Amino acid sequence: MRTFCEAIKESDMGKDFTFKGWVMHYRDHGGLIFIDLRDYSGILQMVFDENIDSKSFKTAKKLKNEYVVSVTGTVRRRPEGTENRSLKTGSLEIIAKSVLILNACEALPFQIDEESEVNEFTRLKYRYIDLRSKRLKENLIFRSRFTHLIREFLNGKGFFDIETPFLTKSTPEGSRDFLVPSRLNHGQFFALPQSPQLFKQILMVSGFERYYQIVRCFRDEDLRADRQPEFTQLDMEMSFVETKEIISLTEELFISIFKNLLNISIEQSFKVMDYDNAMDKYGSDKPDTRFGLILIDLTDIFKNSSFNLFKENIQKGGIIKAICLENGANLLSRKDIDELLNIVKDFGGKGLAWTKVSQNNMLEGGISKFVSGDEGNALIAKLEAKNGDIIFYQSDSKKTVENVLGRLRLYLAKNYGLIGEDNFNFLWVVNFPLFEYSEEEKKIVAVHHPFTSPAQKDLDLLEKNPLAAKSDSYDLVLNGEEIGGGSIRIHNSGLQRKIFEILSVSPEDTKHKFGFLLDALSFGAPPHGGIAFGLDRILMILRKEESIRDVIAFPKTQKGYCPLSDAPSPVKENQLRELGIKINQTPLKNII
């Protein structure tokens, strides 16, 4: 009967066991051959001694890295001085009595046990080999334990794990849908869900009260290090709840995860920050609060400025804000500062003004000649700046200033070591606007989604000034990354219709896209709310990876392509005919 490598212990010495796995390392020392056998549990050294069993020794001579073998032998202690303290089984080894080659292995496209630079495309093409590496294997085992713990926790809280459809109706929620043509209904399409939002609300109308699902979701959008076309989220919905109950339950869940998986104790309650405060101080609705570099408003100080750029922007209704980089003069060279000017343009800024603080508490360099003595004294006091600090200024519209400085503070923190490596900083951001105006679409759009309930105190604003209305919503941020978001939902069909009206959704589109939800809300829908978490992004943070691709078993490239399976790929002409689809061979850019 098979035994796993890391299952043996000191008390097993002298006993015989059979192990099955892959040859990780092979070392021929003449009359002795050593192999490190690897299975999913770990690594164990096997010793083939020509004097003990010549038959197994001859077979061992044929072994190469990544051969699949079965080895039977006796447990013994490694000779003193040969122990491997980095392995759990490093003090023990197996004296082989027999070995069977279960399968050979061709020459590998890359070495598994080396931290060499391997092209990511190659890694994804041979993903089954890449997943044998210690790092990726441990990431996926951690992921399995992570989702198991979530299910165990929520099952214990009275939640029901209920599946929702993958083939559903196209109701775009801000990203493109993946469309699936229907063979039985020519010219009509299913859509893969961007989230189970509508179905989980209908489950609340159905009286289940506590639902969750670890669910696959799909968005046809441009990809980044923290995005994939298909991703996994933890979806939760509850009836008869208020925001504080959802927040409390979420904190309990993460306290349990951190304690059981990372052996880290975190305190309940997490910090809470108002959306307006987050934008004002950090220039982001997902602020990283592990370091300073707070945005400080200097508009009042420069209201009578002789500096034309500042004066003109203030007259146009713009603002001036700054961040102060402590000890910046020693961290940044003049070349570094010049490079920041280009980086800021990538952030959407027109430029970057700066000054240094000198020993006598005066400003020097950059725009210092345009800053009066009184202005300099006032801004140094307000920023609490001191000798050697560098001050970076932005003058533009409020939205641009906060966006540019918010991204600049993150760039400086990451590139100049302002963030502690082992910190895990949770933060709730609340009181988001219900709507915002989209310059691209030239209309009002929902900040979260159109099913988010307005704050009760702002219901009157829906008629008077909808852009001033706040929502009953909340996002959870971890280390400057949004890992989840939710809201109290609209459970009144009349209010839901009003929201669609504000969003310029026509009555025809409302009925066509959301009629089934509105019907459900009219049949005794309870007050309800929920939250969803991006599991891939959370795992990326907890495992300290740079990309979510390293915590997903079979990810796509940044172009949404799978090198392993060669997907997406063409299909046969008869398949297209069955679906009533004809491929236009003309490039889309030529059609447009």
pLDDT surpasses 90 at 269: no
Lowest mean pLDDT of 139-148, 221-230, 348-357, 569-578, name the range.
221-230
- % of the chain residues with pLDDT over 70: 97
pLDDT surpasses 90 at 3: yes
In this structure, what token pair is assigned to residue 31? 């009359």
H/E/C letters for each residue in 89-149? CCCEEEEEEEEEEEECCCCCCCCCCCCCCCCHHHHHHCHHHHCCCHHHHHHHHHHHHHHHH
pLDDT surpasses 70 at 589: no
Block residue for tokens 């009181």 = 431
Contact between 364 and 356 (Cβ < 8 Å): yes
- Give the mean pLDDT of 1-14: 94
Strand, coil or helix: 75: strand
| Alpha helices, DSSP H, located in 222-363 | 243-257, 275-282, 308-315, 328-331, 334-346
Give me the phi and psi of 481, to 5 degrees please: -120, 130
E strand or H helix that includes residue 64 = none
In this structure, what token pair is assigned to residue 141? 């085992």
- Give the mean pLDDT of 270-276: 97
- Give the mean pLDDT of 458-462: 96
State the average pLDDT for the chain.
93
Other C-beta atoms within 10 Å of 159: how many? Answer: 21
What are the angstrom distances between the C-alpha of 333 and each of 185, 328, 344, 402, 498?
65, 9, 17, 25, 56
CATH superfamily, with its number, for domain 5-103: Nucleic acid-binding proteins (2.40.50.140)
Q: Which residues of 190-218 are buried (b: 16+ CB within 10 A; e: fewer)?
A: bbbbbbbbbbbbbbbbeebbbbbbbbebb
Distance CA 149, CA 155 (A): 10
Domain boundaries, the chain: 5-103, 163-271+427-566, 291-419
- Give the mean pLDDT of 222-251: 92
pLDDT surpasses 80 at 17: yes
Given pLDDT bands bounded at 50, 70 and 90, which one contains residue 591?
Answer: very low
- Give the mean pLDDT of 533-546: 96
More confident: 423 or 486: 486
Lowest mean pLDDT of 232-246, 371-385, 442-456, 576-590, name the range.
576-590
The 10s digit of each residue's pLDDT in 305-327 is 989 999 999 999 999 999 999 99
Task: Write down the pTM of the prediction.
Answer: 0.92
Given pLDDT bands bounded at 50, 70 and 90, which one contains residue 271?
Answer: very high
pLDDT of the residue at 584: 84
Contact between 451 and 520 (Cβ < 8 Å): no
H/E/C letters for each residue in 219-250? CCCCCCCCCCCEEEEEEEEEECCCHHHHHHHH
Lowest mean pLDDT of 5-9, 265-269, 402-406, 485-489, name the range.
265-269
CA angle 52–53–54, rounded 5-degree value: 120
**What one-letter code names the amino acid at 501?**
E
pLDDT of the residue at 592: 44
**What one-letter code names the amino acid at 547?**
S
Q: Which positions ≥6 away from 434 have C-beta within 8 Å? A: 446, 447, 452, 454, 455, 458, 466, 469, 470, 471
Please provide the CATH number assigned to the domain covering 163-271+427-566: 3.30.930.10
Architecture of the domain defined by 291-419: 2-Layer Sandwich (3.30)
The 10s digit of each residue's pLDDT in 85-141 is 989 999 999 999 999 999 999 999 998 876 678 899 999 999 999 999 999 999 999
